[in-house]
Chain A
């Protein structure tokens, strides 16, 4: 079994949508999450707060630097993610497709490094 990251591509427009508009999405994602748990595929997952909530912390080269905002200023950014267990990439793609349908965004599939 390999662990895969399913990263949801998101942007400001997604966060600007009303709660009414988002309710069916939340419900679809919730159903998908429950299925992942029931099938023993779920490792971890969750939605992230909007990008303005991000802070970048730099402790490299002996410095301590805390700055407001994300590391990279981009229009699209990580909106949430799942970590799943799958036997191979084909199985991961199948789950990612369901994830994309549930959350209504593109999903990037990336394998974790082998232990």
Chain B
């Protein structure tokens, strides 16, 4: 009994691990996502039937791809009698080995650019990437984003219909593609990570299934595009954030960086992240393109994770990196994060002047930063009102618990 449920778990693990590769390979070969997905599902059924008696094959991914390919051809043979188009497509692509031109392009790389195409709505990009590349079920994705399963299924179906109708290609875009296609892919992965890292809703403050999935996608992308600084930067950023995950919460409460138990940080993730950041720095030093936002954010996190004591943090370097980040991406949220670092370097009064100049009313982190600066300046009554505003603006239970405790520690000026 245990053995068979262990085997089932192992098959599920392999299937999920290999799903993106199988679907991507079939999507290229047959030019149709539905055919690819259906065939992958059929291959799983066959695996569940055979592997318990035959054993897991030595190359399970290859087995699944071959089996799925055969299933797809069977299906097309049945259907091609009435559809000459499919027949033609099958004859062109059948058994033709993929001849790479220039650098070897993994089919998954084509597929990720399709899933993250700017012609698709951002939430559809996220859903498609998790479904097709990550191998998550529609139910899992729906649960992760707290929407009804039917809503999520519809979102994915519509996106696939648009890919088909508008002929969104399965192709790695040209280098000179004007629409920053790689940026769109990285944005999807980072969005998945952030939704997991500080959940905007729901009961769990962190959803590790999302952070883990984002890191897995980041690793795949890194493997496919090893020369891209921003790909390395995003992976490093996620690893250095993930390394602090367990220290970020204690007793259901968010623990800020200055109060975290640093012995709880994951040293191997930090080492991996630091190595990536060093690689990015070396690439920039050797005259490659100036670092983009992900590399700079990774560098900021590398500085934070470089010391064993919060008081040893090199704040001048952090502020300098934030200046660089703001130059690349001048958003009020980056200005806010920069101001928090400025508070450590130049004092809370200087930082408060910056924070007050930002038009971020209603954003939980803006109210939380303002509350903290007012508290440090001894302006308790204003700080209290600001904590209230921050609590009203967040839906994350652990953040609420943290803010409530901070507010409770304020001295009541009326006493």
A residues apposed to B, CB below 8 Å: 2, 87-90, 92-94, 97, 109-111, 113
CB atoms of B117 and A97 under 8 A apart: no
Q: B292 on the interface (CB 8 Å rule)? A: no
CB atoms of B169 and A111 under 8 A apart: no
CB atoms of B167 and A111 under 8 A apart: yes
- B81 cross-chain contacts in A, Cβ below 8 A: none
CB atoms of A89 and B178 under 8 A apart: no
CB atoms of B165 and A90 under 8 A apart: no
- Contacts of B166-195 to chain A: CB distance below 8 A: 166-169, 171, 173, 177-179
**Which listed residue (A88, A97, A110) contacts B168, Cβ 8 A?**
A88
CB atoms of A93 and B167 under 8 A apart: no
Q: B119 on the interface (CB 8 Å rule)? A: yes
Leading 10 A-B pairs by shortest Cβ distance: A88-B169, A88-B167, A111-B166, A89-B168, A89-B166, A2-B167, A89-B167, A90-B169, A111-B165, A89-B119
Please indicate which of the listed interface residues A89, A92, A97 has the most CB atoms of chain B within 10 Å of its own CB. A89
Chain B interface helix/strand/loop/mixed: loop
CA distance A2 to B166 in the complex (A): 8
B residues apposed to A, CB below 8 Å: 117, 119, 165-169, 171, 173, 177-179
- B165 cross-chain contacts in A, Cβ below 8 A: 111, 113
Please indicate which of the listed interface residues B165, B167, B169 has the most CB atoms of chain A within 10 Å of its own CB. B167
- Closest Cβ of chain B to A1, distance in Å, is 9
- A92 cross-chain contacts in B, Cβ below 8 A: 167
Residue of A nearest to B178 (CB): A97
CB atoms of B179 and A89 under 8 A apart: no
CB atoms of B169 and A93 under 8 A apart: no
CA distance A111 to B173 in the complex (A): 20
- B166 cross-chain contacts in A, Cβ below 8 A: 89, 109-111
- B169 cross-chain contacts in A, Cβ below 8 A: 87-90
CB atoms of A94 and B178 under 8 A apart: yes
CA distance A55 to B165 in the complex (A): 31
CA distance A93 to B165 in the complex (A): 15
CA distance A111 to B168 in the complex (A): 10
CA distance A94 to B169 in the complex (A): 13
- Closest Cβ of chain A to B42, distance in Å, is 26
CA distance A56 to B177 in the complex (A): 41
24 A-B contacts (beta carbon < 8 Å): A2-B167, A87-B167, A87-B169, A88-B167, A88-B168, A88-B169, A89-B117, A89-B166, A89-B167, A89-B168, A89-B169, A90-B168, A90-B171, A90-B173, A90-B177, A92-B167, A93-B119, A94-B178, A97-B178, A109-B119, A111-B165, A111-B166, A111-B167, A113-B165
CA distance A9 to B167 in the complex (A): 23
- B167 cross-chain contacts in A, Cβ below 8 A: 2, 87-89, 92, 111
Starting from the known contacts A89-B119, A89-B167, A90-B171, 7 additional A-B residue pairs (CB-CB under 8 Å) come to: A2-B167, A89-B166, A90-B168, A90-B177, A93-B119, A109-B166, A111-B167
Residue of B nearest to A90 (CB): B169
Residue of B nearest to A1 (CB): B167
CA distance A76 to B117 in the complex (A): 27
- B179 cross-chain contacts in A, Cβ below 8 A: 93
- Closest Cβ of chain B to A108, distance in Å, is 11
CA distance A2 to B117 in the complex (A): 18
CA distance A63 to B60 in the complex (A): 65
- Closest Cβ of chain A to B169, distance in Å, is 4
CA distance A15 to B168 in the complex (A): 34
